[in-house]
A and B are shown apart, each in its own frame.
Chain A
Amino acid sequence: MSDVVLTMTDVEAGYGGGLVLQGLSLELERGTITCIVGPNGAGKSTVLRVISGLLKPNTGSVVLGGQPIGGLPPAAILKAGVAQVPQNRALFDGMSVHENVLMGGYLIRRQRSLLHERLEMVGDLIPIVRERAHDKAGNLSGGQRRMVEIGRALMLDPSVILMDEPSLGLDPKSVAKVAELIREVASTGRTVLLVEQNVRLGMNLATHGVVMEQGTVRLSGEAAGIADNPEIATMYLGKAGG
């Protein structure tokens, strides 16, 4: 039995008249961390927007666990099991850390015991959610914010988590903590798809890598193999080409 959780097949999507994704196909396996790398404008973040429903694909299919989700509204895709941690500040700064995480369970708000169970699960996994529960989210550091954002995304127990530039703007210590948390999240069977400008970090963190160019997948496979590819190493990792 295939362990593929999410499949994108021949997806074309874009903004206005222009196509950013031009026949992109991609498969994500359960419990893996896949990192998308590529030059600016390759369409990395657009892949995340199409999967999360923020952008409708013009053609092609997006299938999650056997169910087509391409073109569904964001809330329906969220309910189906895809959560997103965006690049920009996404917390509610005027609310407490506890309230922010609680709001992650907005779609299961009427299932009180489940909501409580998920709060406990997130608190166990991310201690800062308990330690800073009553602090305003606006007072958190960049790394702490990212952890709370991940905690909030976990409230619906998603099967796939999309992360856009999780290391952006963080100091090295925070980057290490966030990376550790991402590994921990994946170890529970969840699939992580991330876009990362810091290619070295992304490939170290990921189990699988995808190299995108001009809206299509140029290369994909295990992260170690991608990182060892001489051309990729030269272009993105600053190693001398072979």
Chain B
Amino acid sequence: MEIVQVLAFGLLLGGVYALLASGVTLIFGVLDVVNVAQGAFLVFSALFTWQIWDAFGVEPLLLIPVMGFLMGVLGWGIYRGMVMRVAPQGPGMTVLLMFGVALTLEGILNLIFGNKFKSVTPPYFTESFTIGQLVIPLPQLISGVLGFLILGGIYAYLRLSWAGRALRASAQNKDGAALVGISSVKSASFAFAIGAATAGVGGVLLSIMYPIYPATQYDWIARLLGIVVLGGFGSIPGAVIGSLILGMTEAFANTYLPQWSSLFFYGTILLILLFRPHGLMGAKTREDVA
């Protein structure tokens, strides 16, 4: 029974990771920008969720659309104000820029929240969902299920809406997109906004799962980049598969060899990349965003 429990944990963790990593891979697919500030966006959202919950007692899950929207607007502004100007200098410069954005956000968060762990603990924080012998903490269950549902919504939006099709077209062939009248600036801004919005939503989910403080952005961006590299940069299906593999790996390691958890997480990435250097779906379908 323990193995089923571990599998369930891994699946749910994978759902949260998939949502978080999809934002990084979407931004890369459309803009060729590695958004190393995604971890900082995530922590920014989680800490503001904590602040609102702590000050007003608002149910954190109700903040999902709010934080998603606010981070989307912030992402749009960062793209229009900074990334768009620096992008012509090449991908190296945009990585440096986003690293600067991450450090600035971390500095702001340190000033506001201090370098202390914050935990959002709604009434269901210590409750569990039980089926037979399977016991799953409610925060993990809620976050994992919502992670899958929101990612499914984003996926459907990318596939079925004109805006989503325009994003996919831009990701697959920028010249082809321009030929049918798709504005590269609008597509890029929209992709950056959606990518940042996933961090906004993900931050709320993380806030009920883990204690957060500003410097945890490094841990999160390392994980997200690991997932995206494993799945293949630019591929959302790749990010989902990578997330599930690493979610399972982490769940198994946490259960049987907790002190080796990080080693297993990054060791799995290394091992797979030895055999698939372009990631699981990178070589053939890197452009197949969504």
Contact = CB atoms under 8 A, between A and B. Distances in A.
Nearest to B288: A94
The residue among B166, B175, B289 with the most chain A CB atoms within 10 A of its own CB is B175
A121 interface: no
A89 to B, nearest CB: 7
A90 B168 contact: no
B176 A91 contact: yes
A95 B178 CA distance: 16
Interface in A66-107: 74-75, 78-79, 83-84, 86, 88-95, 99, 102-104, 106-107
Q: Chain A CB within 10 Å — which of B165, B173, B285 has the most?
A: B173
Chain B facing A: main interface SS: helix
Interface in A110-130: none
A134 interface: no
A79 B175 contact: no
A94 B165 CA distance: 11
B173 A104 contact: no
A20 B216 CA distance: 55
Contact of B173 (A74, A75, A92, A106): A92
B172 A95 contact: yes
Interface string B171-187: 01101111111110000
A107 B169 contact: no
Contacts of A83: 179
A103 B168 CA distance: 11
Interface string B79-118: 0000000000000000000000000000000000000000
B166 A106 contact: yes
Nearest to B235: A94
Given A74-B181, A106-B162, A106-B181, A95 B169 contact: yes
Interface in B171-220: 172-173, 175-183
A103 B169 CA distance: 8
A88 B175 CA distance: 9
A107 B289 CA distance: 22
A90 B180 CA distance: 10
Most buried by B among A103, A107, A152: A103
A109 interface: yes
B250 interface: no
Contacts of B183: 75
Contact of A84 (B166, B177, B179, B287): B179
A168 B285 CA distance: 25
Contacts of A104: 180
Interface in B235-290: 285, 287-289
B181 A75 contact: yes
Contact of A93 (B178, B182, B287): B287
A152 B172 contact: no
Contacts of A155: 180
B56 to A, nearest CB: 41
B176 A94 contact: no
Please indicate which of the listed interface residues B172, B176, B181, B182 has the most CB atoms of chain A within 10 Å of its own CB: B181
A107 B285 CA distance: 27
Given A93-B287, A99-B165, A74 B176 contact: no
A74 B178 CA distance: 7
Nearest to A103: B180
Interface in A24-61: 54
Given A94-B285, A106-B162, A109-B162, A89 B179 contact: no
Interface in B137-181: 162, 165-166, 168-169, 172-173, 175-181
Given A74-B181, A79-B181, A107-B181, A90 B165 contact: no
Interface in B11-42: none
Contact of B165 (A78, A91, A103): A103
A74 B289 CA distance: 25
Contact of A90 (B175, B181, B182, B287): B175
A27 B162 CA distance: 37
A78 B175 contact: no
Given A74-B181, A91-B173, A103-B182, 16 more contacts: A74-B178, A78-B180, A86-B175, A88-B175, A90-B176, A90-B179, A91-B176, A92-B169, A92-B177, A93-B287, A94-B289, A95-B165, A95-B169, A99-B165, A103-B165, A104-B180
Interface of B: 162, 165-166, 168-169, 172-173, 175-183, 285, 287-289
* A-B pairs with lowest CB-CB distance, top 7: A94-B288, A90-B176, A75-B181, A107-B181, A92-B172, A106-B180, A78-B181
17 contacts: A78-B179, A78-B181, A83-B179, A84-B179, A86-B175, A88-B175, A89-B176, A90-B176, A92-B168, A92-B177, A93-B172, A93-B173, A94-B168, A94-B172, A94-B287, A94-B288, A95-B165
